[in-house]
Amino acid sequence: MSISYELLKRCSRTAARRGRVLTRHGVVETPAFMPVGTQGTVKGMTTAELAELNTAMILSNSYHLYLRPGIELIARAGGLHKLMHWYGGILTDSGGFQIFSLGGLRKIADDGVTFTSHIDGSTHYLTPERVVRIQNLIGSDIAMVLDYFLPHRSSHREVERAVERTGRWAQRCLNSHLRKDQALFGIVQGGVYQDLRKRSAEELVAMDFPGYAIGGLSVGEPKELMYELLEQTAPLLPSEKPRYLMGVGSPDALLEGSRLGIDLFDCVLPTRIARNGRVMTSRGYLTIRNAAYATDMAPLDEACGCPVCRRYTRAYIRHLFNAGEILGMRLTTYHNLYYLSRLMLEIREAISEGNFAQYYRRMKPKLEQFYGGVGKCKT
């Protein structure tokens, strides 16, 4: 068995659902947010600290790991779990987002993609089959097919061709996937065109993947459009299998995605902004570098119970940033991940207790006010 999904509770008034994904490295209670550890580490965090936060699964990127430290080293260590001393779940992205984001460093053909390494300029040719082989050697619990998507302003015909290529690559990935203790997810594409998203979903569902991702969103389109596409696409996916919304992690989007029936989310947002001294609080963003906090003896968030807020003041953490001390970034990273972990716990509890609709109505205006302006959150 690779993974299985248990649907525990449905919200009677929305599409929200409470479930769990069972993997060989434990259970992921859903809806869940996965911190991003692109290169085999969630920046600023030890795996013990991730466990303290009840993190059940993280995301790593097979393209970046392939370049550095290299698949041979990962395989020699016995897989990524052992190399990084992490025994929760791992989901590996395939490199599809790098096809999108590294436009000047790659050349696409029907058979695969040629990349020029951003590290040393070396050339690497990746096919759907090779991407699957790389993820097999990494040993992630969930692997992703190699997909292809375009900027959100692309024409219908351009996106249609991308959907066709994504479908062909998905079938090739499925045909070459041999590891039985690893699940391979398909990725629905289609840009901002619902007819193409419907076509992509139907094509992938017919291939019978054990789970499905919705990709190509949160790449610059308005959030309202993202939610509309998500609301139309999610019901096209099998209810008995997990649904994963790729690259979305602002608090308001996590709430909205949960309402629309999404089980898994990931984003670099909480860790990236933390390294710049920005934290999520019960009253919105707080930029700790600001001079206003130079003598402030309050915690980052007086409503937060995380160890950072229990032990340290705004003045001290601001001092750490101004002094260039690594501890400052570690503390803000821990706090932001705690904030999102707590939010997802509240969402799960609300669904379980049958009052998610009320919780949603209460939280939606507050989170939109505080976080609605943050959209793009890809790696």
Per residue in 176-189, pLDDT (tens digit) is 999 999 999 999 99
> Do 65 and 11 share a domain, yes or no?
yes
Q: Which one of the listed residues 252, 263, 266, 301 is annotated catalytic?
A: 266
> What whole-number distance in Å separates Cα of residue 176 and Cα of residue 181?
14
Question: What's the average model confidence in pLDDT over 349-360?
Answer: 98
> Do 91 and 137 share a domain, yes or no?
yes
**Domain CATH number, residue 106:** 3.20.20.105
Per residue in 83-95, pLDDT (tens digit) is 999 999 999 999 8
Instruction: Single out the residue in 226, 247, 267 at which a domain terminates.
Output: 267
378 lies in some domain: no
CB atoms under 10 Å from CB of 22, counted, come to 17
pLDDT of 375 higher than 50 = no
Instruction: Single out the residue in 224, 239, 267 at which a domain terminates.
Output: 267
Token couple for 365: 């205006």
> What whole-number distance in Å separates Cα of residue 193 and Cα of residue 105?
27
> Do 124 and 238 share a domain, yes or no?
yes
pLDDT of 374 higher than 50 = no
> What whole-number distance in Å separates Cα of residue 83 and Cα of residue 140?
12
Looking at the chain, the whole-number percentage of residues with pLDDT higher than 70 is 98
100 lies in some domain: yes
33 in Cβ contact with 341 (< 8 Å): yes
Q: Which residues pair with 212 in a beta bridge?
A: 186, 243
pLDDT of 379 higher than 60 = no
> Do 278 and 261 share a domain, yes or no?
no
303 lies in some domain: yes
> Do 112 and 213 share a domain, yes or no?
yes
Q: Which of 53-57, 218-222, 251-255 has the lowest mean pLDDT?
A: 218-222
Per residue in 338-353, pLDDT (tens digit) is 999 999 999 999 999 9
Per residue in 99-157, pLDDT (tens digit) is 888 888 999 999 999 999 999 999 999 999 999 999 999 999 999 999 999 999 999 99
Total domains present in the chain? 2
- Cα torsion through 249, 252, 253, 258, rounded to 10: 110
Q: Which residues pair with 108 in a beta bridge?
A: 113
Q: Which one of the listed residues 93, 141, 147, 263 is annotated catalytic?
A: 93
251 in Cβ contact with 371 (< 8 Å): yes
Non-local CB neighbours of 317 within 8 Å, separated by 6+ positions: 288, 300, 308, 328, 331, 332
379 lies in some domain: no
Instruction: Single out the residue in 235, 250, 267 at which a domain terminates.
Output: 267
CB atoms under 10 Å from CB of 343, counted, come to 19
> Do 77 and 107 share a domain, yes or no?
yes
> Do 19 and 135 share a domain, yes or no?
yes
Length of the chain equals: 379
> Do 339 and 192 share a domain, yes or no?
no
377 lies in some domain: no
- Please state the pTM of the whole predicted model: 0.96
Q: Which residues pair with 265 in a beta bridge?
A: 33, 245
Question: What does the buried/exposed string (b/e) look like for 115-125 if buried means 16 or more CB atoms within 10 Å of the residue's CB?
Answer: beeeeeeeeee
Confidence of residue 1 (pLDDT cuts 50, 70, 90): low
Q: Is 147 a catalytic residue?
A: no
376 lies in some domain: no
For residue 2, the model assigns a pLDDT of 87
User: Residue 355 sits in which domain range?
Assistant: 274-371
> Do 333 and 235 share a domain, yes or no?
no
> Do 315 and 290 share a domain, yes or no?
yes
> Do 189 and 318 share a domain, yes or no?
no
Secondary structure in 3-state letters for the chain = CCCEEEEEEECCCCCCEEEEEEECCEEEEECEEEEECCCCCCCCCCHHHHHHCCCCEEEEEHHHHHHCCCHHHHHHHCCHHHHHCCCCEEEEECCHHHHHHCHHHEEECCCCEEEECCCCCCEEEECHHHHHHHHHHHCCCEEECCCCCCCCCCCHHHHHHHHHHHHHHHHHHHHHCCCCCCEEEEEECCCCCHHHHHHHHHHHHHHCCCCEEECCCCCCCCHHHHHHHHHHHHHHCCCCCCEEECCCCCHHHHHHHHHCCCCEEEECHHHHHHHCCEEEECCEEEECCCHHHCCCCCCCCCCCCCHHHHHCCHHHHHHHHHCCCHHHHHHHHHHHHHHHHHHHHHHHHHHHCCCHHHHHHHHHHHHHHHHCCCCCCCC
> Do 251 and 335 share a domain, yes or no?
no
Q: Is 93 a catalytic residue?
A: yes
